[in-house]
């Protein structure tokens, strides 16, 4: 290598130059993300509230209006004005005659990839879950996401038994996942071949949530009834 060749090579950059580039770009990127987040947050929250409303009427097909209720410390339910988001909420659905037709409850739990969030409709008249809609899932496309599309799987939730024991203190039978085609009882969830973890996760999320909510709701049904 000749001396001219060596001289024409650029000197290696100092550590300061590297830090400057990385930290500078990092700060710029951070600011950009934060400002976009701030601008889009109200719009995204509004979209989510709209989607939730649509989901409530999807899982309670007979309902035409809804109300948001919060579980209070005494174990009863109190109505919440405006758009409530947070813990311990249930959504009551009413038909055109203002009669209570059922309750929509949000639940979530761990799936295969990430948290699965869903909403289900509980009909106290039928003692059953009458509809489920997945609100949030990152399950594997083509396999795990069948929990939202597989018609045989969704058939489970047309009437999934969650009846309570006679004194209304707990569920008579837990919701249990079974292998595809092995469903014999109305409280079992027929799984999906190829999406075992995701379909079992749905059954477990429903079971945990129903165990908690159904006795509480049944013991305070009058809290939801609207005055004529």
Question: Where do contacts with other proteins occur on this chain (CB under 8 A)?
Answer: 12-13, 17-18, 20-22, 24-26, 29, 32-33, 36-37, 40, 43-44, 47-48, 51, 113, 138, 141-142, 145
Phi, psi angle pair for 212, to nearest 5°? -80, -45
Contact 158, 136 (CB under 8 A): no
Nearer of residues 21 and 85 to other proteins, judged by Cβ: 21
**Sheet-wide strand order for 115-123:** 77-80, 65-71, 89-94, 100-110, 115-123, 128-136, 160-161
State in angstroms the smallest separation of the CB of 104 from other proteins: 18
Pairing of strands 188-190, 176-178: parallel
Distance of closest approach, residue 33 Cβ to other proteins, in angstroms? 5
Provide the token pair at 59. 């899982």
Q: How far is the CB of 140 from other proteins (least distance, A)?
A: 9
Provide the minimum distance between the beta carbon of 58 and other proteins in the complex, in angstroms, as a whole number. 13
**CB-nearer residue toward other proteins: 44 or 115:** 44
Give whichever of 44 and 165 is closer to other proteins, judged by the CB atom.
44
- The least CB distance from residue 109 to other proteins, in Å, is 18
Do 57 and 93 form a contact (C-beta atoms < 8 A)?
yes
DSSP annotation of 148 reads H
Q: Which residue has the tokens 């990127």?
A: 29
Give CA separation, 228 vs 62, 93, 98, 100, in Å.
Answer: 19, 15, 8, 12
* Cα 178 from chain centre: 22
Strands (E) located in 11-158: 65-71, 77-80, 89-94, 100-110, 115-123, 128-136
Based on CB atoms, which residue is closest to other proteins, 142 or 181? 142
Query: Whole-number minimum distance, CB 44 to other proteins, in Å?
Result: 5
CB of 18: closest distance to other proteins in angstroms? 5
Residue with token string 């109300």: 67
Rank residues 48 and 216 by Cβ distance to other proteins and give the closer one. 48
Residue closer to other proteins, measured from CB, 9 or 97: 9
Q: Name beta bridge partners: 106.
A: 119
Q: Which is nearer to other proteins, 20 or 226 (CB)?
A: 20
């Amino acid at each position: 290598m000749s001396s001219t060749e060596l001289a024409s090579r650029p000197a290696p950059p100092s550590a300061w130059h590297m830090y400057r580039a990385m930290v500078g770009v990092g700060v710029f990127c951070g600011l950009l993300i934060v400002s976009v987040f701030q601008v889009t947050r109200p719009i995204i929250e509004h979209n989510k509230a709209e989607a939730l409303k649509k989901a409530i009427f999807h899982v309670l097909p007979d309902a035409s209006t809804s109300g948001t209720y919060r579980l209070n410390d005494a174990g009863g339910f109190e109505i919440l004005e405006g758009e409530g988001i947070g813990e311990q909420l249930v959504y009551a659905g009413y038909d055109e005659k203002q009669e209570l037709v059922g309750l929509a409850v949000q639940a979530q739990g761990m799936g295969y990839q990430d948290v699965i969030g869903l909403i289900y409709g509980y009909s106290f008249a039928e003692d059953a879950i009458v509809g489920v809609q997945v609100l949030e899932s990152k399950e594997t496309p083509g396999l795990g996401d069948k929990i939202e599309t597989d018609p045989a799987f969704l058939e489970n939730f047309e009437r999934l038994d969650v009846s309570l024991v006679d004194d209304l203190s707990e569920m008579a039978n837990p919701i249990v996942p079974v292998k595809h085609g092995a469903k014999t009882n109305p409280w079992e969830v027929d799984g999906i071949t190829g999406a075992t973890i995701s379909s079992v996760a749905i059954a477990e999320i429903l079971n945990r949530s129903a165990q908690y909510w159904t006795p509480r709701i049944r013991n305070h049904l009058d809290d939801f009834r609207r005055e004529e």
